[in-house]
């Protein structure tokens, strides 16, 4: 497991040269990459969401693509379109920006549901179908989507089918005073993203992604994960609980966290550390709980207090 730990730390340290003071968020982003999962970054403008995606792509040497979602965007603007070539008298496929390895879906909730649905097949099956032809997407395919939780005018809430395809949701938040001073100093002459370079190869990443799947998870820990997920469906403040995909996401993230910390086995502390990040965005809070301002994270925290932790 030292290889996973070494590779993960190399990427984290490289990204931290650009994203200052957000070690936990950077680590969660790398965990998502190791699990071949997608990530939703929900935060206000100007805290580094786009820069995080770019620096991650540069660290791994992946093909990066940015999609700026707008209300007038069409599905073909994402997936690509077939164009008739008058010379060859045949249709030629021109791939859209989704045909990259790390894709930044900026302000994803500004696109209409019709356009948002263009991402469903890509995120789950890692392929897109245009005019009856299926085109596989190059690994490691990862979507990092951003949305502003404050401004709702002109936006379309992400449907549950879309939210459920994001392995985890994170928030960066504002930096501290000293961190913000360091950001000002770091960008005095040149943006630090222009100074970082690739630190691992795609082959090394692929090997680590496969190694993560081999990390041992005891049956009691599996039961602990399932118990937490099942409790989200029965909680009185929850209208709709987490799906089985949520349990699988938490399971895989725990394996990656164990590998990042140098272990070849998962412990209950891994589950506790990642439960809110992996499950909170998958549950819908009931109307009565919303009136009381009960958040999804508070519900997950209460479940962690309720569900018995497995012992040896």
| pLDDT tens-digit readout, 261-281 | 999 999 999 999 999 999 999
pLDDT band at 152 (very low <50, low <70, confident <90, very high): low
- If one looks up domain 2-207 in CATH, what number appears? 3.40.50.300
**One-character DSSP codes across 93-123:** EEE-TTSSSEEEEETGGGS-HHHHTHHHHHH
pLDDT tens-place string over residues 117-148: 889 999 999 999 988 889 999 999 999 999 88
Where, residue-wise, is CATH 3.40.50.300 in the chain? 2-207
Calpha distance 7→145 (Å, rounded): 24
The confidence score (pLDDT) of residue 47 equals 82
Where, residue-wise, is CATH 1.10.8.80 in the chain? 215-306
pLDDT tens-place string over residues 238-254: 998 999 999 999 999 99
215-306: which CATH number, 1.10.630.10, 1.10.510.10, 1.10.8.80, 3.40.140.10? 1.10.8.80
Calpha distance 183→173 (Å, rounded): 14
Provide the whole-model pTM: 0.91
Q: Which residues pair with 146 in a beta bridge?
A: 41
Q: Which residues pair with 242 in a beta bridge?
A: none
């Amino acid at each position: 497991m030292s290889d996973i730990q070494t590779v993960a730390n190399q990427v984290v340290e490289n990204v931290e040269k650009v994203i200052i003071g957000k070690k936990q968020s950077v680590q969660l982003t790398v965990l998502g990459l190791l699990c071949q999962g997608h990530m939703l970054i929900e935060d206000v403008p100007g805290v580094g969401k786009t820069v995080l995606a770019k620096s991650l792509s540069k660290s791994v040497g992946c093909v990066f693509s940015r999609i700026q979602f707008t209300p007038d965007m069409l599905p073909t603007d994402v997936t690509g379109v077939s164009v008739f070539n008058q010379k060859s008298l045949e249709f030629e496929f021109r791939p859209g920006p989704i045909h990259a390895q790390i894709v930044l879906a900026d302000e994803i909730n500004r696109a209409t549901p019709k356009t948002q649905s263009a991402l469903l097949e890509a995120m789950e099956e890692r392929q897109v179908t245009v005019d009856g032809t299926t085109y596989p997407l190059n690994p490691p395919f990862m979507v990092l989507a951003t949305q502003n939780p404050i401004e709702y005018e002109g936006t379309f809430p992400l449907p549950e089918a879309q939210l459920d395809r994001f392995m985890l949701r994170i928030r960066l938040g504002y930096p501290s005073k000293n961190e913000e001073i360091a950001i000002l100093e770091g960008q005095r002459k040149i943006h630090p993203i222009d100074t970082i370079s690739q630190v691992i190869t795609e082959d090394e990443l692929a090997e680590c992604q496969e190694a993560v799947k081999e990390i041992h998870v005891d049956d009691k820990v599996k039961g602990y994960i399932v118990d937490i997920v099942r409790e989200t469906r029965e909680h009185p403040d929850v209208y709709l609980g987490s799906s089985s995909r949520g349990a699988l996401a938490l399971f895989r993230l725990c394996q990656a966290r164990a590998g990042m910390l140098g272990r070849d086995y998962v412990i209950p502390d891994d589950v506790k550390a990642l439960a809110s990040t992996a499950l909170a965005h998958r549950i819908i809070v009931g109307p009565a709980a919303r009136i009381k301002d009960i958040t999804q994270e508070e519900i997950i925290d209460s479940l962690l207090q309720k569900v018995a932790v497995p012992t040896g």
